[in-house]
């Protein structure tokens, strides 16, 4: 198998910056470099999770390395809010990886973030190295689901378009990819004909993506793109019909970690914007407090929590369908 850093230099091409000279191979045989690495398998499928932006340090490079303690602790908290939606249906593997801090994306836009993602060659090297180790030592040819959010989803799109394309022997076992909180565009799929977007609740080998906002969302949104695709997390359809909150199986409160049933959030697809509109959640309480990135009225930080049990149930449906083949 090719060395990870060689593969990534080919991916990044002209985007490689001076940071590339400092690339090192993170040792993923070391359990301390994993946010989650089960000691034994309890389920018939796995989740491979890439966490969103949790780095808040003021490093001049705008990067948090794998050994950054602040990032490690913050990633643990976000893991509970996102990845644990799947903890009753799959064994969850989650590597620590080098990522940008919040400040790096201020006043940015989708196109620049795509370039920056490729420019974080160390971060991509980390994820590719973790995938290599996972598939060679841990997966044992089991079906798996990819799960990510925000910056993690920007990285996941590289994984899907490059790593999985180069490794069809792994890709054939992908039950689904929940690429949440980051645009998956028509252009991206056209450029990657081996990938397809979900059309219903039980299709397999597909990408699932959405981002949530209030009806009165205003101001900047650095993760807005033209022609982005979206699916409703309450009925797993593209229809713009409102699905009421009584169809929400349960929402997670990030303060108490308690689940409210039925959930607090309704959902309606807005195809023009490529987002899910939620009208039942208190905007002042739940909007993400990063106005330089998301303006006002964005529920980006609640993409998983609002639809926590629906994500869990849908993952089980897709895994069962995959296994039934």
What's the pLDDT band for 325 if we cut at 50, 70, 90? confident
pLDDT tens readout for residues 204-249: 999 999 999 999 999 999 999 999 999 999 999 999 999 999 999 9
* pLDDT recorded at residue 14: 32
State yes or no: pLDDT of 30 exceeds 80.
yes
Prediction pTM value? 0.93
State yes or no: pLDDT of 13 exceeds 90.
no
State yes or no: pLDDT of 21 exceeds 70.
no
State yes or no: pLDDT of 157 exceeds 90.
yes
* pLDDT recorded at residue 106: 84
State yes or no: pLDDT of 275 exceeds 80.
yes
State yes or no: pLDDT of 15 exceeds 80.
no
pLDDT tens readout for residues 178-198: 999 999 999 999 999 999 999
Q: Which of 54-58, 125-129, 250-254 has the lowest mean pLDDT?
A: 54-58
The 3-class SS string of the chain reads CCCHHHHHHHHHHHHCCHHHHHCCCCCCCCHHHEEECCCCCCCCCEEEEECCCCECCCCCCCEECCCCHHHHHHHHHHHHHCHHHHCCCCEEEEECCCEEEHHHHCCCCHHHHHHHHHHCHHHHHHHHHHHHHHHHHHCCCCCEEEEEECHHHHHHHHHHHHHHHHCHHHHCCEEEEEEECCCCEHHHHHHCCCCCECCCCCCCCEEECCCEEEEEEECCCCCCCCCECCCCCCCCCCCCCCECHHHCCCEECCCCCCEECCCCCCEEEECCCCEEECCCCCHHHHCCCCHHHHCEEECHHHCCCCCHHHHHHHHHHHHHHHHHC
* pLDDT recorded at residue 107: 75
Mean pLDDT, range 23-47, rounded to an integer:
96
Mean pLDDT, range 164-170, rounded to an integer:
98
Mean pLDDT, the chain, rounded, equals 93
């Amino acid at each position: 198998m090719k060395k990870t850093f060689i593969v990534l230099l080919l991916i990044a091409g002209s985007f490689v910056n001076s940071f590339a000279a400092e690339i090192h191979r993170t040792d993923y045989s070391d359990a301390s470099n994993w946010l989650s690495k089960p000691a034994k398998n309890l389920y018939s499928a796995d989740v491979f999770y890439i966490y969103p932006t949790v780095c808040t340090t003021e490093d001049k490079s705008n990067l948090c390395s794998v050994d950054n303690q602040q990032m490690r602790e913050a990633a643990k908290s976000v893991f509970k809010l996102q990845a644990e939606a799947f903890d009753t249906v799959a064994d969850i593997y989650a590597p620590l990886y080098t990522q940008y801090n919040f400040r790096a994306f201020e006043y940015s836009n989708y196109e620049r973030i795509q370039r920056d993602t490729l420019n974080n060659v160390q971060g991509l090297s980390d994820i590719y190295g973790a995938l290599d180790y996972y598939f060679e030592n841990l997966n044992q040819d089991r079906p798996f689901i990819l799960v990510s959010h925000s910056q993690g989803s920007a990285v996941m799109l590289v994984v899907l378009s490059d790593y999985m394309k180069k490794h069809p022997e792994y890709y054939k076992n992908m039950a689904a990819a929940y690429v949440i909180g980051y645009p998956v565009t028509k252009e991206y799929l056209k450029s990657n004909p081996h990938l397809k977007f979900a059309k219903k609740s039980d299709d397999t080998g597909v990408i699932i993506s959405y981002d949530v906002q209030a009806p009165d969302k205003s101001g900047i949104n650095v993760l807005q793109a033209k022609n982005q695709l979206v699916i409703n997390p309450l009925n797993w359809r593209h229809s713009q019909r409102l699905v009421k909150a009584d169809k929400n199986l349960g929402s997670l409160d990030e303060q108490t970690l308690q689940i409210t049933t039925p959930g607090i959030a309704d959902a309606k697809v807005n195809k023009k914007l490529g987002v899910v509109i939620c009208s039942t959640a208190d905007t002042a309480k739940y909007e993400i407090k990063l106005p330089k990135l998301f303006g006002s009225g964005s529920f980006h930080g609640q993409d998983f929590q609002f639809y926590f049990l629906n994500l869990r149930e849908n993952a089980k449906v897709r895994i069962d369908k995959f296994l039934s083949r």
